[in-house]
Amino acid sequence: MTKKANTSPRREESLSRDRIIEASIALLDSSGERGLTFRALAERLATGPGAIYWHIDHKSDLLTAACDAIIARALSAPVVGVTPEASIRALALSMFDAIDAHPWIGSALTRAPGQLPMVRIFERIGQQVRMLGVAESAQWGAVSALLSYILGVSGQNAANAHIAREQGADRVGFLEQVSTMWSELDQNEYPFTRSVAGQLSAHDDRVDFLAGIDLILRGMELADGH
């Protein structure tokens, strides 16, 4: 007896690159890079690993694609009728919040320095730096400084939050512990650190982050003689 052909659509036919990327982001958010495997992804999507390989060849490509999706969303909010300085601040905060929500983005960006996720950020900053009137010879340095600051501080903030969670401490409790430790340092060796120990537990990460952006922008103005 001839078996009746299965006419139901295969699961793989409904599988798209976008669905794979979204599932990858969910895995990365919940389990980090170690949790992103093709087997785990196949289980989440109720399909076979082969169907995923049809769309994406390697885990590194998948990580870059997931990172790029988050970066594209972070930079997609329209900023109309504002100054280049305000646009840079808005871009910086978008990246800060994106990395805070998805801590794995920091390492993903460092592994793909010349690929699209990094290029998106670099290009957006560069356009605004040009609009500021920075001399062409100084644009590379200005954009590199902003890029390094944005990714470095955002990544460190996300790392701090991760450490606090691992220790079972909330932000306030974690900062109070560090503040107490700083206040007990040797006065002769660490006079400045001791003097600001009381400010540590009450500081606002986003406000401090923007203060750094403003310092860089002000430095660019001074360098141009404004």
CATH assignment at residue 157 = 1.10.357.10
Residue-by-residue DSSP string for 127-175 = HHHHHTT--HHHHHHHHHHHHHHHHHHHHHHHHHHHHHHHTT--HHHHH
Is position 174 within any domain? Answer: yes
User: 131 pLDDT exceeds 60?
Assistant: yes
Per-residue confidence (pLDDT) for residue 113, from 0 to 100 = 81
Q: Are 159 and 103 in contact (CB under 8 A)?
A: yes
Is position 18 within any domain? Answer: no
Mean pLDDT across 163-170: 74
User: 11 pLDDT exceeds 70?
Assistant: no
User: 13 pLDDT exceeds 60?
Assistant: no
pLDDT tens column, 169-197: 777 788 888 899 999 999 999 999 999 99
Is position 133 within any domain? Answer: yes
Instruction: Indicate the pLDDT class of residue 207, thresholds 50, 70 and 90.
Output: very high
Is position 190 within any domain? Answer: yes
Q: Residue 80 is encoded by which pair of tokens?
A: 């109309």
User: 215 pLDDT exceeds 90?
Assistant: yes
Is position 185 within any domain? Answer: yes
Number of domains in the chain: 1
Q: Which structural domain, as residue segments, surrounds residue 216?
A: 81-223
pLDDT tens column, 24-45: 999 999 998 899 999 999 999 9
Is position 68 within any domain? Answer: no
Mean pLDDT across 141-153: 96
Mean pLDDT across 134-157: 94
Is position 191 within any domain? Answer: yes
Per-residue confidence (pLDDT) for residue 8, from 0 to 100 = 37
User: 63 pLDDT exceeds 60?
Assistant: yes
Mean pLDDT across 76-88: 83
Mean pLDDT across 40-61: 89
Is position 101 within any domain? Answer: yes
Q: Are 197 and 179 in contact (CB under 8 A)?
A: yes
Per-residue confidence (pLDDT) for residue 183, from 0 to 100 = 94
Round to whole Å and give the CA distance between 83 and 89: 10
Mean pLDDT across 200-208: 89
Residue-by-residue DSSP string for 15-37 = --HHHHHHHHHHHHHHHHHHH--
Nearest by Cα to 39 from 67, 31, 108, 101: 31
User: 162 pLDDT exceeds 80?
Assistant: no
Mean pLDDT across 53-65: 90
Q: What is the dihedral of CA 210, 211, 215, 218, to 10 degrees?
A: 70
